[in-house]
Structure formats: C-alpha cells, structure tokens
Structure 1
C-alpha cells in the first residue's frame, strides 16, 4: 500500500501496470478446474483477446459467480472478464461505497456489497465459483488472511489472488541506499500487516487445509512517468517513517523520480481446495 492509498486517481493510474503484470498462465489450470466442476467441455480461448473462439456458444452453460474482494473500481473484473471462457456473474465487495459506485457506473448485472473482508465466511461463499482479489493480501493481517483462506476452503471455492508485493525492488539507475530504503519499507508494512510475508503465509495456510497452491511472479515494470513518481513517493515516505535517519536522503531520491525505472516484485497465487493439478 502506498501513500496514495486507495484514491480513485491512484487506482486508475496503476491499472495498466497491474494488467500487464498479472500472471495470465494461472488461468489455464483455473479454467480446467471450473470446467470440471461445471461438468462442461472446456472451450478454447484466445489468450490475446480474452474471448472464446468463433463457434463456441455459451448458451445453456452454467453461470460462474466470481466474487472480487477489495474490488475498488473494478480493475480485476475488467482484466479477467472473458478470459475464462465461461458466462460470468460478478459480485464486487469493498468497504468503500464510492469506489464501488465507480466500478458499476456503466455496468449492468454486477452486484456490489459494501462489506469488510473480515466479514466473509464459508457459508457466505456457498454458490460462489471463484474468489478473486488484486493487491489485497499484503494489506491484510495474518488473522484476516487466515479467515479468508478458511472461508474459501470451507466453501470449496478456488481463489485467484494477484499482485501481492514480495518486498523486492530494483531501481535503474541504482542508488547507494536502495537496499536500506527497501528494508525500511518492508519493516513498515510488517508493523501491523503481513506485507511482503503475505504470499508465504497464505500459501502455508491454504496447503495446511489441503488446497493445491500455484504461485507465479507478477512484477511491475515501471518506466519514468507519473506512476513511478507516485509509487516512489509512497515507498520513500513509508521507509522514512520507519527509519527517520533516511529522511535527509529522501530529497535526493525523489529528485531522481523523473529518470527512474523500477521493477517492483509481486506474486500471483491460485489456490484450489480439494484438487490436485
């Protein structure tokens, strides 16, 4: 989570980078699982277009209900919709009603729920075919992640959880204090949240409950520009809050914002309860 928080302008700014980073190859095993559970023949999907090939009719195929947690303005739905080759029904869940209003401004047939993630239970997921989330796990506590995992496993519901930060950052051109800023930022996240430990924690929690877990890297690759500048301000600000001795170095780092390229490591996770892929 950056200093920009969940401001709609920040979410809009990062959406193209999010879409480019997500690990699309996790969709292949997910499509197999969804098709098997529906008892249908797996349609062929054009990965580049995210749509079924001509002649593949979706008529009379079971509707897949996808619940997107912490959905914000709906970027996950915009990326995933059509890529699974199944008819979809989306439930967008977020604690911020203003963000949800933006997510469904021009959309019909999308349900919204203003709820905290911690309120989710296995019983509430009955009838849900897939749980999704984007940039969520690292801003949850261990207890919240454990509750999410328990709910998915109890309901037998696969989970596609994308864009969780892993703590590694590479700046180009590099600076002498890059590793120190990185370590301070990671410790700042760990104060109350899982931060860069979230993928390992969620993987262990799912596997302890018998789920199959697949993970893939999903790095942001940032060029000089507004997104890199805003991300850098948030990264530097959190690091300085954690390690005040870095404050005197922050202006030099921020002055480099217009020339910096950055690789911000993330990971995507697909958990499949009760399956072996």
Structure 2
C-alpha cells in the first residue's frame, strides 16, 4: 500500500505534534550508544519520521530508509539531511526483514505502519527486533477512536464502518487496523521485551481545515467502501461537516519496545 506524497506532506505537522516525546527518554543510555547510530525507518514514506526524530537524538546518525515505493524513497532520501546525518534507501518488502537484516541496528522506527500489517507480520517484526536486540519506536498507530465536535448521530455509523474497513482482508492478508497496538504489545512481550505505550492523538481544528477536509473525505470514503448503503448519506454528511468549524480528535498510540538485549 502506497500513499500520495501530497497527503503525507499535508499530515506531517499534525504527526509531529502528536508523537509522544515521553517515549524518547527510555532510549537514553541503552543500545543507542553506538557511533554512528544506525536507525532503520520502516515504511518511511517521504521521511517525516526521520525529520522529526533526527534532531532529537544525539550524535552522528546513519538512517536506512525502507519503503516499497521508489518515488517516496527518492523524496525521503533527498530531504533527510543534516550535519550529522547520512542516509541510504532500501526498496522492497519491509515485512520480509529478519534478525540478520537488523544486525548492527541501533533503533527500528516506523510511523503509521502497524495498522497496515497482519498479525503474522507484526509477530515477525517483533521476532526480528528481539533477535537483533534492537529497540523499536513505532508511532501513530490508529486505535479506532474518533471524536468530532460538534457531534452528529451518523458519526458512530461512519466510525464503525471505517474501523471494519481497517480490519479488512487485502489479497488474503487480514489487516490488524485498530487491533494493531494490542497485537504488537503482545508479540513483543511474549519475547521478553519491555513495552511502553503513550497516546498520540491528532487534535485538529479550524486552523487545519485542509487536513481536516482531506482526512474526513478519506474516512467517509473508506466507510462507504465497507458499507455501501452509507453512500446515500455521505454527500449531505460531508457538506454539513465541511461547512462549519469542525474539530476532530483522531486517536493514535505510540509504542516503544525494549528487547532484553537492550
């Protein structure tokens, strides 16, 4: 699954504002004492995670950016810059990574990725990180909670249908969607990792009207794809919602897993 660079650019500030900086504190003094730090960003998109995190980590850093989309990799590689930062890009299936691929890695990161994976893929990721003894900072996973203000009776119907869409099967793969965080916690803890989570919601208001509009259209569109009968309600619902000063809270959770070796 790939995303348009324009959408990733539109959401980058909201992502940066939402990420839980509290989870960076436990990283100090563990496996990040290598020089340079070797950080693998899985499903890097245009590199927004790296742009947010690089300045929050000390010392020289070498980022290995993984994505299936060569266009996004090109953008990420060109914009991940800094006096202490070097970058390489790896095109391919990030779900195929194993512990041997992560040898020498200081930290694995990902943003808005877990809910796009299956239970088996999450287990494989946990096994790879545990086997290589490297921490994982996995941010902005959807948890199926959306609050709209002002509220409408139809909000719950669209939310339920959207969450079902997130859990759909794609090419025989059943996505975890809002169940991703709990599945990831379980997978890492089963391997002896210490796991911490923090909420990282988007809090969007009238000053982010463009992002609210794009998010709402995508949210409603996915709901209608899951429950076609909602298509009758969708145009009027969108008109009402986008005509006023809508405020939205979109629930996410950030997760830090510290394997025993760390």
Q: With the length of structure 1 as denominator, give the TM-score of the two structures.
A: 0.86
More helix by share: 2
Deviation at 1:253, TM superposition (A): 2.0
Unaligned runs of 5+ residues in structure 1 are 39-60
What is the match of residue 110 of structure 1?
Answer: 87
Rounded Cα–Cα distance in structure 2 between residues aligned with 1:257 and 1:140: 31
Rounded Cα–Cα distance in structure 1 between residues aligned with 2:106 and 2:237: 45
Rounded Cα–Cα distance in structure 1 between residues aligned with 2:59 and 2:185: 27
What is the match of residue 222 of structure 1?
Answer: 204
What is the match of residue 128 of structure 1?
Answer: 105
Q: Are the equivalent residues in 1 in contact too, given 2:68–2:91 (CA < 8 A)?
A: yes
Question: Is it true that 1:257 corresponds to 2:242 in the alignment?
Answer: yes
Residue of structure 2 aligned with 1:25, choices 22, 27, 38: 22
Question: Is it true that 1:268 corresponds to 2:245 in the alignment?
Answer: no
Deviation at 1:246, TM superposition (A): 1.5
Residue of structure 2 aligned with 1:74, choices 23, 47, 66: 47
Q: Are the equivalent residues in 1 in contact too, given 2:108–2:137 (CA < 8 A)?
A: yes
Rounded Cα–Cα distance in structure 2 between residues aligned with 1:252 and 1:175: 12
Residue of structure 1 aligned with 2:195, choices 213, 220, 224: 213
Deviation at 1:275, TM superposition (A): 6.2
Rounded Cα–Cα distance in structure 2 between residues aligned with 1:81 and 1:110: 11
Deviation at 1:63, TM superposition (A): 1.2
Q: With the length of structure 2 as denominator, give the TM-score of the two structures.
A: 0.91
Q: Are the equivalent residues in 2 in contact too, given 1:125–1:152 (CA < 8 A)?
A: yes
Q: Are the equivalent residues in 1 in contact too, given 2:107–2:136 (CA < 8 A)?
A: yes
Q: Are the equivalent residues in 2 in contact too, given 1:212–1:275 (CA < 8 A)?
A: no
The CA RMSD measured in Å over matched residues stands at 1.6
* 2:224 partner SS: helix
What is the match of residue 141 of structure 2?
Answer: 164
Question: Is it true that 1:200 corresponds to 2:182 in the alignment?
Answer: yes
What is the match of residue 45 of structure 1?
Answer: none
Rounded Cα–Cα distance in structure 1 between residues aligned with 2:237 and 2:7: 21
Rounded Cα–Cα distance in structure 1 between residues aligned with 2:260 and 2:162: 36
Question: Is it true that 1:237 corresponds to 2:221 in the alignment?
Answer: yes
* 2:256 partner SS: strand
